[in-house]
Structure 1
Amino acid sequence: MSFRSEKILSLAGEDFQQKSIGDLIAMYNELLDSGVHGLCFSAYKEGQAPGSIISADQIRERIQIIKPHTNWIRTFSCTDGNEQIPAIAKEYGLKVMVGAWLSDDKEKNEQEIENLVRVVKVGDADLVAVGNEVLYREELTEEELLEYIFRVKQMIPGAKVGYVDAYYEFINRPAVTDACDVIYANCYPFWEGCHIDYSHVYMKNMYYGVLQIAKGKKVIISETGWPNKGTAFEVSEPSAENALRYFINTQKWSKEENIEVMYFSSFDESWKIEDEGDVGVYWGLWDKNGKRKYGS
């Protein structure tokens, strides 16, 4: 193998050509058991969806499953019981990136912000996210989002406040980037139709593209992952092998270069079929019942 081809493989991640599915599962379990930086966390169970009221008991049950495998969790909402997650996570020694879900429902937004501020003031938030992909969904204007961000920063001075969206939104919207103390970039080669063979270098390019315009601010990959079942998106193929490969590449890079990644996601969630089709259901490292997908 030439130096050039070795370099290309290095950029693309692990060389999987000689790896069996058993080899991949062993590598996956070694990485998961040694602990990942962070996991996107949802406590919804089968039959529940956003708007369902979640209990402290089910939050504890789900956190107990993932706690041995991660240092951080990321939450998405501060209403409908989700506001209990940070305090419970702290009981288990986890750090928390706390999110307030924003939408075009201005009344619900106020509840989210009020609860978010309360969580921060009692000391249960290590990082703060005001909104998640609300620009991508076109539910708020940039000006409206900035008003929320600046208001929250004023209410909780000293907190590390940012916004979560697709990586390119920060490149295309310098005012949003400037408003953030920390930049939370979602990086999904799958949703850009990338073949698994090129997915790792593609994701790295997303991250470094944001880093270049961040003006020295910390950039956290707030979501990235790969589904193990469902309908393909262009040449992005869901499969157990591809999900394992993507996880292995991402976690090895995260550990080797100290990249902070909130992997998506902790558990499969059936409700996502409504918005994302069948593929939306299968992004978890654990299935909908909390069973580890690839053994232990």
Structure 2
Amino acid sequence: MLSFKLLGAIAAFTSALLTKQAAQSFCIHGINYNPRIGPDWAAQGQQCKSAADIQADMETLYQVTGSVRLYGLGDCDQVSRVLPAAINTGLSVSLGLWVSGDEAVFDAEFSRLQTLIQQHSSLFSGGSIVDIHVGSEAVYRKEITAEENIAYLQRVKALLAAYSLASVPVTIAEIGDVYLAHPNLIDAVDVVQANGFPMWEKIAVENAVQYFDTRMQPLYQQAAALGKRVEIGETGWASGGSSPKASEASPVNAARYFYNFFQMAQARNLPFYYFEGFDEEWKITASNATVEGYFGLFHEDRTLK
């Protein structure tokens, strides 16, 4: 695995410079990936990465992880462009179906999933696709209710069962607090996939991981009582930019949060997908918070931070 210079930043904590000499080798459970390079209103060819860039991204991520997490099948045609590139590179995939307030969006994602199962069922039975998350914070965004999201999940589970793939775990990616507010979500999923960002709660970086772990304790306990494991779908810290709603973003703070979170997750045997693989600088102009563009472990040019 690649030596990760962010860990070196912690060893030489007083400097924002990340050096190879201070680095440690590592491998993390998983990383979130988005093939977007522009918003929906961008010109043709300026919304999504090329096939060559996606392949290069997968090869880069393979050096530091064994799994990638995708948010949807249709956006940027991920089902036929990102999914094969990841699997052919040797990465497993946590597969997402995008959910919004428009039921037609889910119906289209469901149809793509059905076609994928019909044409490539071995990806599911053979372990290349490790789980499916039906929606990413759609309840948190108040686009749908917990009950509606559960109904979508049940449709996916029924589809898998119809093709003798009931062993594939199906979940809903949500903020930990949303799971706690809607315990029927915990009942419905096969594995609890929870997201949490202390940075967006303006927690000081030195306290952030302890805060995260404490906030998740009730969820760990409720999931364990039902015999279900918890995995973290998203967490991270930006290395640049700013937002009045967030803690300070800097290379050292990003490194410190990553290192502390990695150590906590290792101690807890807690699987997690870090947010995210690469910076997305297009978000800087599409968002009021410039930090949105700098959550990557890698710069856009695939150099490690």
- CA spacing shift, 1:228–1:23, aligned 2, 3 Å: closer
Letter in 2 for 1:250: F
Structure 2 unaligned spans of 5+: 1-9
Contact 2:195/2:234 (<8 A) preserved: yes
The aligned counterpart of 1:87 is 84
Secondary structure of residue in 2 paired with 1:156? helix
2:176 aligned with 1:167: yes
Which residue among 110, 113, 120 is the counterpart of 1:116?
Answer: 113
Which whole-Å deviations, capped at 9, do the CAs of 1:99-130 have from their partners, x for residues lacking one?
Answer: 01111222222111222344453414211100
Letter in 1 for 2:71: F
TM-score (norm 1): 0.85
Q: Distance in 1 between matches of 2:41 and 2:156?
A: 23
Letter in 2 for 1:138: K
Q: Distance in 1 between matches of 2:211 and 2:21?
A: 22
Contact 1:28/1:248 (<8 A) preserved: no
Contact 1:75/1:97 (<8 A) preserved: yes
- Give runs of aligned pairs for residues 27-176 of structure 1, distance below 5 A: 29-30=23-24, 33-45=25-37, 47=38, 52-79=47-74, 80-84=76-80, 85-120=82-117, 121-123=121-123, 124-157=128-161, 158=166, 159-176=168-185
Letter in 2 for 1:104: G
**Number of aligned residue pairs:** 275
The aligned counterpart of 1:222 is 233
Secondary structure of residue in 2 paired with 1:81? helix
Contact 1:228/1:241 (<8 A) preserved: yes
The aligned counterpart of 1:183 is 192
2:266 aligned with 1:262: no
TM-score (norm 2): 0.82
Contact 1:24/1:245 (<8 A) preserved: no
Compute the displacement of 1:255 (Å).
Answer: 2.5
Identity between Structure 1 and Structure 2 (%) = 28
2:205 aligned with 1:201: no
The aligned counterpart of 1:287 is 299
Q: Distance in 2 between matches of 1:24 and 1:255?
A: 23
What is the RMSD computed on CA atoms of the aligned residues? Answer: 2.4
Q: Distance in 2 between matches of 1:222 and 1:144?
A: 20
